[in-house]
Structure 1
Amino acid sequence: MRIAVIDGQGGGIGRVIVEKLRKALPKDDVEIIALGTNAMAAALMLKAGANDAASGENAVIYNADKVDIIVGTIAVLMPHSMLGEFTPGMAEAVAKSPARKILLHLNRSNVEIVGVVAEPLPHLIDFLVERVKTIMAARCAGQG
């Protein structure tokens, strides 16, 4: 299974996601690709345990439809998010990708997701990792 972790700016959220996914999932069965909106974010995720990393608009567009799961924040669906680092082309590529998207609902924009639990970021990342594990288990059992 190929998982893309997308992050930008400082890459801190992506770094934590990669670390937790790497600890929770079997290394032989999972390839984690760090896609940063900038080189610093990509490098931080690579250092955290991603198998490979790339940065910039073309990296996100090129890889979005080549992975099974995309993880990150809800910002990866919104053009001009991440203080303008996430381009309309990136958002469109992620939205159009056939990959399953498992996204954190951080309220750093003017978008509010109704019906979600307000939890600290570390708890949300734990929920995200558990969801990825559930999807992987279902695929291995032939259900997904």
Structure 2
Amino acid sequence: MIIAVIDGMGGGIGGQIVAHLRQELPSYFEVYGLGTNSTATSAMLKNHANKGATGENAIVVSTKKANVIIGPLSIVIPNSMMGEVTDKIATAVAESEAVKILLPIAPDNFQLVGLENKPLMLLIKDAIDVLKKEFNVKK
């Protein structure tokens, strides 16, 4: 099973997601750290992603292989993350057949209603719980 974690900017969110996936899931899960820039990819590799790749084409190609995509909501919003999420990235994520688990972290001009305002750590825990339930995973 391939889990693609997508992040940009400094990669802090993606790095934390990868670290928690490594703690919570069996080792046979393959985790790809896909960054919109090399800093984000590096942060995910430092937290033990199996593979890392950077940039639009790498993300477009890798989302086709993924069974699960995890990242902030911004990865499906073109021009978010200060322009790092291109139209092609947002479309590739949205059109991928992978299960998408998106953390409700969006650009400032987006307001999400009906969601609890939770700290990042709890959002990541919730995302991993969804993944475990979706694929009936026990460590």
TM-score (norm 2): 0.95
Percent of paired sites with the same residue: 44
RMSD: 1.3
SS of residue paired to 2:70: strand
Alpha-carbon distance in structure 1 between the residues aligned to 2:9 and 2:18:
16
Runs of 4+ in structure 1 off by over 6 angstroms are none
1:57 partnered with 2:56: yes
TM-score (norm 1): 0.91
Amino acid of the residue matched to residue 101 of structure 1? K
Alpha-carbon distance in structure 2 between the residues aligned to 1:112 and 1:68:
28
Deviates most, 122-131 or 4-13 = 122-131
After superposition, the C-alpha distances for 1:65-109 in whole angstroms (9 at most, x for unaligned) are 110000000001100000111111100111110111000001433
After TM superposition, list the pairs within 5 Å mapping 1:101-120 onto structure 2: 101-120=100-119
After TM superposition, list the pairs within 5 Å mapping 1:14-53 onto structure 2: 14-28=14-28, 30-53=29-52
- Size of the alignment, in residue pairs? 138
Alpha-carbon distance in structure 1 between the residues aligned to 2:111 and 2:31:
29
After superposition, the C-alpha distances for 1:24-64 in whole angstroms (9 at most, x for unaligned) are 00002x00000000111101101101000000000111111
Amino acid of the residue matched to residue 82 of structure 2? L
Unaligned runs of 5+ in 1: none
Unaligned runs of 5+ in 2: none
